[in-house]
Amino acid sequence: MNIFDLTAFVLIGICHIMLYLQLIGYARFTWKSILGFGLFLFVFLTIVLSATGYPEFNLIIMLLFLLGLGLLKQREGLPFAQSLYFALASLFLITLARMLLMDLLFRIVIHSSLPLSIGIGGLPHLIAVCLLLLSLTLLRKKTGKLGRFVTTGPLYYVSYVLLAAGMMALILISSPSVGILADLSRTYGNASLILAILLFLVILLFFFLSSHLSKEKMQLEYKRNTDKELLDYMEKLEVMHEELASFRHDYLNLMLSLDQGVRNRDIAQIEQVYQDVIKPATERINHAEYELVKLARIRVPALKSILSIKIIAAQRKGITVLLDVPHQVQKAAAPLADLVRMIAILLDNAVEEAADSLEKELEVAFFEADGQQLFIVKNSCHQQEVDLQAIYQKHYTNKEEQRGLGLFSLKRLVDAEPNIMLETAFDRPWFTQVLRLNRAAYEGKGTE
């Protein structure tokens, strides 16, 4: 085995790891970590192959290795079935793509004026793997979205079966040494290769179809939610207008109640009416208005809209809301649709908890500092203890008749964006969540 093949085998392990991590939406590993994992996988596979002499074990060991990496994501709510699905996808797609590219490059050498030694010297192998690695690097963002969409698409379970069949075909064309597998390989090796190529094309088609259908469904759902929130916003503005008109009428009546005290120069009566009635009402209405006025510093209409809707909803439930937007926010440091969903989930949960608590307080802050945008939600909480690990698991809830998908969806959205971090803390009775958006990293992607 020459230096080209050795390098290619190390890089192909890195390709498997990269594609798997992209599909499950885990972006916490650095390039150094991924390179280290690739080297370890190569050494371990070499040792196992030398000790057993069974090349078919390579796929099984790589599958188990990827599932081991997936345990980190499973702690954050990734189901094992999806982890296995993405591991199979990584193994099947990368392995077959490498084989097809190597065959293509070899044919190019054969039909060109290049020396034949290039075709058998391991260089096509290395070039094929480098092309795969470059493609994964350039398409990492799209691959992450594909992984998020494909599991919610209508073709998910069908493609699961196809991936399992594809893996069996790969084992048969990998020159297995186990008796029964070797016999099947000799008999059905060529047919397995053709089947694997057909499955490769069909699975790619399923992936893109599932992604397209899921994206359309999510866009339609987002539009419906946006329209509903806009209607709620208009209705709540009308309610506030009616309340202000009613307050104005009552306020004028209260002022008239001072008339007698003024005419009689009864200072005690004037002070009593002012302290007992006018001052509390004035402070309450001024506070509600003042908090909403701060939203003018947010220059992103979608963010301003969702914040105003949620703040008005909180105030309607008798929650004291404190809003802090010290400086103007010109644009979001994250995909706007995803950020609006994150903020909506955070505020919905905060309002529910604050409404059930004794203090009934909610604090919201949105500002920029040290190249980051920070969105902070702090609310009073009625619970004595909060399991900060369990709250992000699917179906976890402490409410009756609720599915507990809010924070689970929030965690998935955060994990899909490497420039966003979510921090959670509980110091009874205060529950605090912080979204940290790395503005420099986001703008460096060249996204809007």
Given a cut of 60, whether residue 191 has pLDDT beyond it is: yes
pLDDT reported for residue 411: 82
Highest mean pLDDT pick, 57-66, 158-167, 342-351, 412-421: 342-351
Question: How is 99-155 classified by DSSP, letter by letter?
Answer: HHHHHHHHHHHHTSSS-HHHHHTTHHHHHHHHHHHHHHHHTHHHHHHHHHHHTTSTT
pLDDT reported for residue 393: 63
- Domain borders along the chain are 3-218, 298-448
For residue 431, list its beta bridge partners.
Answer: 379, 426
In the chain, % of residues over pLDDT 70: 70
Contacts of 19 (CB under 8 A, 6+ apart): 89, 90, 93, 94, 136, 143
Give CA–CA dist 264/252, Å, rounded. 19
94-146 per-position pLDDT tens digit: 888 888 888 888 778 777 766 655 556 677 888 888 999 998 888 877 777 77
CATH number, domain 298-448, options 3.90.1150.10, 3.30.565.10, 3.10.530.10, 3.40.50.2000: 3.30.565.10
Query: Which of 46, 32, 38, 49 lies closest to 15 in space, CA to CA?
Result: 38
pLDDT reported for residue 404: 41
pLDDT reported for residue 172: 76
Question: Is-above-0.85 flag for pTM?
Answer: no
Cβ atoms within 10 Å of 188's Cβ, excluding its own = 15
Given a cut of 60, whether residue 53 has pLDDT beyond it is: yes
Sheet holding 361-369, edge to edge: 320-324, 361-369, 372-380, 430-438, 420-427
Highest mean pLDDT pick, 203-207, 254-258, 266-270, 369-373: 369-373
* H or E stretch at 434: strand 430-438
Query: Which of 83, 94, 103 lies closest to 18 in space, CA to CA?
Result: 94
376-389 per-position pLDDT tens digit: 999 998 887 776 66
More confident residue, 319 or 291: 319
Residue 177's pLDDT band (boundaries 50, 70, 90)? low
pLDDT reported for residue 374: 92
Highest mean pLDDT pick, 219-233, 285-299, 341-355: 341-355
304-354 per-position pLDDT tens digit: 888 888 888 888 888 888 888 888 888 888 888 888 888 988 999 899 989
Mean of pLDDT values over 193-212: 78
Mean of pLDDT values over 142-164: 78
Q: What is the chain's mean pLDDT, rounded?
A: 77
Given a cut of 70, whether residue 216 has pLDDT beyond it is: no
Given a cut of 50, whether residue 263 has pLDDT beyond it is: yes
Q: For residue 285, give both structure tokens.
A: 């209405």
Choice among 120-129, 285-294, 421-430 with the minimum mean pLDDT: 285-294
